[in-house]
Structure 1
Amino acid sequence: MTAVSVMGRARHSLEGYWELMASGKKTQYLLICSMYLLIFAYHTRRSLPVYNAKFRKQSSLSLVLHILAGSFELIRYYTRALDGDVVPEVLDTAACFAQAFTTLRLSKTLLRGDITTRPSYQAPALMRPFVGLTALVYQSPSIHRASVKLLHAFLYTRMIIFLAKRFGVGKIQSNATIYAHAVFLGAIIAIHDSGLPAGVPVYIGMVGAVMVLNRYVADRLARPWTSEVSMSIWGRTLIHPHLRMTTHPASLRNSTTILLCSLVFFSDVLICACT
């Protein structure tokens, strides 16, 4: 066997490997798209009118923008990913910010689940703009891919709810408990799948920090001398308008410290990932 024939076989083997990888990637993307279509067809189609009836007109517009921004991100990424690594552009980051902001708007009036559900939605919404902006600044395909994969928490949450009901968990747990746990676990799976360094512990820490911050802002709203006008945009965005719970003002300092430390640590690991 000559060196030329060996090189020829190696080249054909390499070409076959890349064809297999490309085929597997297309199959993976097709499966993801099919799952989204299935959920939109059978789940979102039924729940959307219910959400639309409960929300105010302004929130209904946020819901539509939320769906459009997330769908745009996914379609734009996966259609470009068929040709290789995707480098983020300003349009991708703008869609990321729109999806995150509408998540915060919608979670403010969320009535499903328990007290952990709202922070479980709010924490990824605070993380994604930071991840998306970092991907844009460093022009990093890997961080951009991680940012898009965080959207798959929607898929994982609905799959967990479906499996929980399928295996009869609803007989021993309330729907609110199942929903709350599904949202939290779905986000953890999505963050783990994204490959972000220390993403899961940072997410858990941010959920705790947002919970404490929500309680503090609710306490301020409950005071007769405090009006919503005097509150910060941060507080008005995070808090449910009818939530009334009490906590000590020192909780704000603690939660803010935890949140800032989480963001600084998250910044460090992302910068390390880019270098």
Structure 2
Amino acid sequence: MDIQQLKYFLALAKELHFWNTAAKMNITQSALSRQIQSLESELGLQLFYRNKRSVKLTPAGKFLQDKWSEEINQLESMHRLARQIHLGEQGTIRIAHPDSISSSILPDFVSKVTNAFPKLQLELLQLPYESQEDYLKNYRIDLTFTRDITPSSNISSRKIHSENLCLAVPENHTFSALKHISPKNLEGQKFLLTTGDYNSSYNTLVTQVLKSYNVVPESYIRCEFGSTIMSMIKKGLGISILPQSYQLHEVAGIRFIPLPFMTDLYINWRKDDPNPILNNLLELA
């Protein structure tokens, strides 16, 4: 017994006519008859009452028509799903991202993905810098957006965006334009900075910005996530250096002053990952 035999049976159960069924299934009437007889022989029961004038389902045949119809529909759904997964159109993909792109690049990227692959499930999460590479290598995420250059030979990276760094200050701060920012004016300012990871190329960039203004920051609050830093700025607890993308978060009470320094954004994935879903998403990034 195979799936094709079940399809022949279900077609005949619907038509109740050998000639019409054979024509629709593109086989000869005698071949259809042999398939039904073979199925009955294997099952050890009669599926149809038939004579020269009519074909009718037996009670057992009616029972199997209902059950096999359901089974075939489920099988065909699974086959469609398998083809979609094979083509990279369905499944689940896990993406890590920095807080800074939550209101800018990330929504645009997700919109492209959901429009192109409406059945694809996305899981979005934020991770500390030191966890991202480990999560990627161990298949706990599939893609990660970072502002850091990934040195690992097992991970592929591509730069997808560049933008200004900004000095983020409370709205009532005396700094309102780039011309107000000088080594002298920055003396004594309290800085709210991201956690100090010496392997982070982004933190190295921020350090270079501070050095360019001859500033040794008086920093008493460090935090991994920029949205928390912005809440502290709004409360007047200090100032910070953040990517300009945070301006799109539209947090009231904060002023962003673009600086003449650029930060890059990278998309990272496992090298030689054969997942077709991943390859499809990379084309949209």
Please report the TM-score for the alignment, with normalisation by the length of structure 2: 0.21
Whose strand fraction is larger, Structure 1's or Structure 2's?
2
Please report the TM-score for the alignment, with normalisation by the length of structure 1: 0.21
Whose helix fraction is larger, Structure 1's or Structure 2's?
1
- More contact order relative to length (CA 8 Å, sep ≥ 6): 2
Structure number, greater radius of gyration: 2
